[in-house]
Structure 1
C-alpha cells in the first residue's frame, strides 16, 4: 500500500510517498480502505515541520478520511460498510488518512450518514465538522437569524467557507473577513452579504468598539479575535476554533462583563461520538449541493507535500481534497 511517510532527520521533517506493508499499520479494531482524505491546516504544519504536531516518527499524517471497512473486529462495523473519521489524534500520534489504508479504534469511526458519500464527506471533512460545531455553539447561545449579523473570520479557509455556507443556508446574514481580494466572488457565491478586509481587524483593539455583530465564528485568534470581541452586540456569542493568527488573546474582561458577551471554545478533535453524529446529519441536510462544487479542489497523494506549503502560505482557497483510492 502507498502512504505519505513523515520522518525526521537532523531536526528536519522529510515527507515521502512510499510503499509499505499493511502489517506495519498500528493497532486497532477496524481496518479501512481509504477512498478520500483531506489536506488540513494541521496536516500542513505536520508535513512541513513548521508546527510541533508530530512527536513520534515515522508518522502518516492526515487527520481525516473516508472509505470502506476492509476488516473489523468491532461488532458495530462490518466489511464493506462506508465510514468516516475526523480527529482523535489520528494523523498526529496515530497513523492517519494520507495512505491507502488505516487501522483505527472503532470508537473513532462514524457510520457514513445517509445521503453522503466518501468524496462529499471529505469535502466537508474536519473543517466542515468544526464549522457545524461552531454554528451549534451560536445556536445554543441563543443566536438566531433574527438576532443580527454574524461575522466569520478566515472566511476563505476550510472552516470559514463552510461556516459561511451553513449560516447562509440557515437564514443568517453573514459578513466574511478575508485577507485576499481574489476570494470575494467565491465568498459571495457561498452566501456572504458583506466582505471585510482582514486589515480592519488586525490592529490593536480598544476594549470596546461600536457594537456590530450578534454572533461570530473565529478561526484566527490573537488580535483578530480581540477586535471581534470588542465589536460584539450585547449578549453576543463568539465561537472560537482556530489560531491561524496566533495563540494570544490581547483583550480585557470588558466585553464579557459590560456587554454580556460569551466566548465559546470549539474543539472537534475529542467531540463525543453522539454530538458528531448530530453534526454530520445536520451538515448533510443543510449544505446546498452547490457547496460541493464551489469549495473544493482535488489533488493526488503525491501532491500533498507541495500543497501543504501552499496552504500555509495562504495560497489555497476552500477545501483541498486528496484522492487516495
Structure 2
C-alpha cells in the first residue's frame, strides 16, 4: 500500500505572481490514468521553466506540478501490458503541461503515454536524455535516413542546450562531422569534448541576408532555435541536404523564398516529440539505450533536488543554464 501523501514541487498563482514551493499532495488529487508511478527522476526542460513562470501557453490552470519528463516504477496498474515494479519512462504528451508532472514523487497517467525502460539504460540515464534526448533522437533518425556520414558536414544550433549537446554526441558516435553553433564562446572546449569537430559563433548566422541562396556549406542540420539562424542554415544547405527544426526560441517566423527547396532540393523536416507515435518512440529509445549511447554525454549532467528548481529555472530563462539538469524525486 502506497502512502496517501507525497512531496511535490507545486506552482501557485498569488496576486499575479507565480510561486514554486515544495508541498504535500494527496494521491487522490492526481488525475485519472491506468498507471500510478513512483517517480525516481525527472529533468528540467524549457517547457518546465515556462510552466514554473506562469506561461499560459504551456499551463492553463494553477496550482500545478510541472515536469514533462519522468522515470520510475509502477506501483499500481490497470493495464495488463504493464506490471507492478516495472521501470518505465514517461515523456511529453500532456505530462507536466496541464497534467500533473514529474516534479513530484508520484504521477498517474494513461498507459498509452508510457514506454518500458529499455535494457542497457538506467533510470538516471533515461532522464539525462529525457524529452531533449527523444527530440534529438527523432531528429537524428530522420536525418540518418536521408544522408550518410560521407555526404558532408552537419551543423547543430543551440549547441550547449539539451537537444543540441545530445545531438552532437550521438552524431559524432555515428561518424558524422559536426559543426556546433553557439553564443557561448566559453563552452568551445566542452563542445569539442562532446564530439564537435568545429565550433562557430552564433553571430555568423544571425545577420539578416536577403539573398535567396547563400554559399552551400552543409549537407544537414539540426536546428533548435528557428528565426534568422534557421533561415540562413536553409540557404547554406548543399543540394539534396536535410534540415530538421524543433525549436523557436529565436523566433517562430521564417522569411524565405522557395529557392532552397526548388533549386537545391533541400528538405525541411519538422520535429514534434510531444505527440510522436509510440511505435516510433520505442525505436528511438532502444537506439538511445544501445548503438547511440554516449558515455561522454551521460557523464555530463547536474543532479538537483526540488529545493533547487527555482534557481535553475531562473538560469534557464536567462539562457545561462548549461547541459542537462536532472531532478532526484525520491
TM (normalized to structure 2)? 0.96
1:293 lines up with 2:296 in the alignment: no
Q: 1:216 touches 1:238 (CA, 8 Å); kept in 2?
A: yes
Deviations 1:89-148 (A, max 9, x none): 1101111100000000000000000011110000011001100100111123x2110110
Structure 1 vs Structure 2 CA RMSD: 1.1
The answer as to whether partners of 2:304 and 2:328 remain within 8 angstroms in 1 is: yes
- 1:228-279 deviation line (CA, Å, top 9, x unaligned): 0110000110000111112111222111111110100001000111101100
Which runs of 5 or more residues in structure 2 are unaligned?
1-5
Kindly indicate whether residue 79 of structure 2 is the aligned counterpart of residue 74 of structure 1: yes
Pairing of 1:46-195 with structure 2 (within 5 A): 46-50=51-55, 52-140=57-145, 142-195=146-199
CA contact (8 A) 1:48 1:305 kept: no
Write out per-residue CA displacement over residues 213-237 of structure 1, whole angstroms, 9 at most, x where no aligned residue: 0000000001110010110000110
Residue in structure 1 matching 2:324, options 307, 311, 319: 319
1:51 deviation in Å? 6.2
Give distance in 2, aligned partners of 1:308 and 1:218.
23
Measure, in 1, the Cα distance between the counterparts of 2:23 and 2:151. 52
Shift of 1:7: 2.1
User: Distance between the aligned counterparts of 1:222 and 1:289, measured in 2?
Assistant: 32
TM-score with structure 1 length normalisation? 0.97
Whether the 8 Å CA contact 1:161–1:190 is kept in 2: the answer is yes
Paired residues, what number? 323
Question: How far apart are residue 13 of structure 1 and its match?
Answer: 2.1
Q: 2:42 aligns with which of 2, 26, 37?
A: 37
Match 1:27 to one of 28, 32, 38:
32
**Structure 1, unaligned stretches of length 5 or more?**
none
Change (3 A) 1:55 1:241: same
- Indicate the residue corresponding to 2:21 in structure 1: 16
1:136-191, Cα deviation, whole Å (9 max, x unpaired): 11123x21101100000001000000000010000000000010012111110110
Shift of residue 52, structure 1, vs aligned partner: 2.4
Greater alpha carbon shift after TM alignment, 201-210 vs 161-170: 201-210
